[in-house]
Amino acid sequence: MREGHRGAAGAAIAIFYIFLWASAYVPSKIASVESPPLWFLAARFLGAGIILALLALAMRRRVPLDWRGWLLAGAIGVFANSIYLGCTYTAMHRMSAGMGAIVASTNPLVLALLAPRFLGERLTWQKVCGLALGFGGVILLVEARNGTTMALPRDVLLAFAGVLSSVVSTLLYKKFGTAQSLVAINAIQLVVAGIAMIPAALLTSGMPVHIALTRELIASYVYLVLVLSVGASLIWFWLLRHGEASRVTAFYYLTPVFGLAISALLLHEPVGWHDLFGLAAIAAGISLVQRS
């Protein structure tokens, strides 16, 4: 495949991944309101991890051969799932789904600042301008919601702590984990994430005694396990394996585009004309990063 075609295919896959990731905010909002969020996450991670473990066995995928590989997979699971989504779900108990998508889109800027130091990736002026423009678009969207129940400062900070944890997991995988089987490493990291989430769930919510298994909650669980924790996670690590981390994560700036649209359609959260300026800046920023 020619270089241009490979780049276009990679961009299309990245956009599809971001659409899947943004689509998680509505079922995640439902789960965080209708169930103890950390218990829901523990069940989600363990369910997805078991599915991937069975798939890895059926495909005869090799697991890491030494303790360092297992430790790496476990650490990625804790940072990419337990801490990241634990913070996000807790924040989204009060914060809107659209706002959660906006905070998540700060991921590329944080990673771009760390990638030159930890991954040796070049930070060109064009990439800096693109990331700054995209982040400016995010700021416009955040500012429009500042001071409302959709964006209380403590919830935004908690969600941002989750973003920092996600960045750490990306750096770990890109630097140390590219030789591992995608199916095997995802199975391990999800099972570890589920186990790690149980003590936190016990401390914050106690035993999950009274949970109403509504159709919405069950549908959210099935969607998040199969589409996000299994499907989207495999796509994400494939993208990291085949491209620079800062270029791949720049597509996170598209999260508000899909997140706000889906939240407006399904949860009737407001979207105004001012949002279009922010979204236009985000699109321009991504274009600059991909051309750098």
Q: How high is the pLDDT of residue 138?
A: 72
Q: How high is the pLDDT of residue 189?
A: 92
pLDDT tens string 157-169: 898 999 999 999 9
Across residues 65-92, what is the average pLDDT? 87
pLDDT tens string 99-124: 776 777 778 878 888 888 888 777 78
Q: How high is the pLDDT of residue 196?
A: 95
What is the C-alpha separation between 220 and 263, in angstroms, rounded?
14
CA-to-CA dists, residue 97 to 53, 152, 200, angstroms: 31, 13, 23
Across residues 249-259, what is the average pLDDT? 73
Residue 198 or residue 277, greater confidence: 198
Q: How high is the pLDDT of residue 44?
A: 95
- How many of the other CB atoms lie within 10 Å of CB of 42? 24
pLDDT tens string 125-176: 888 888 888 878 877 776 665 555 466 788 888 989 999 999 999 898 888 7
Taking the model in full, what pTM does it have? 0.80
Instruction: Examine the pLDDT at 1 and tell me if it is beyond 50.
Output: no
Out of 9-18, 139-148, 201-210, 271-280, least confident range? 139-148
DSSP of 237-292, one letter per residue? HHHHHHS-HHHHHGGGGGHHHHHHHHHHHHH-----HHHHHHHHHHHHHHHHHHH-
Out of 65-74, 147-156, 221-230, 242-251, least confident range? 147-156
Instruction: Examine the pLDDT at 37 and tell me if it is beyond 80.
Output: yes
Cβ proximity of 73 and 188 under 8 Å: yes
Residue 224 or residue 260, greater confidence: 224
Across residues 66-87, what is the average pLDDT? 89
- Per domain, the residue ranges of the chain are 18-291
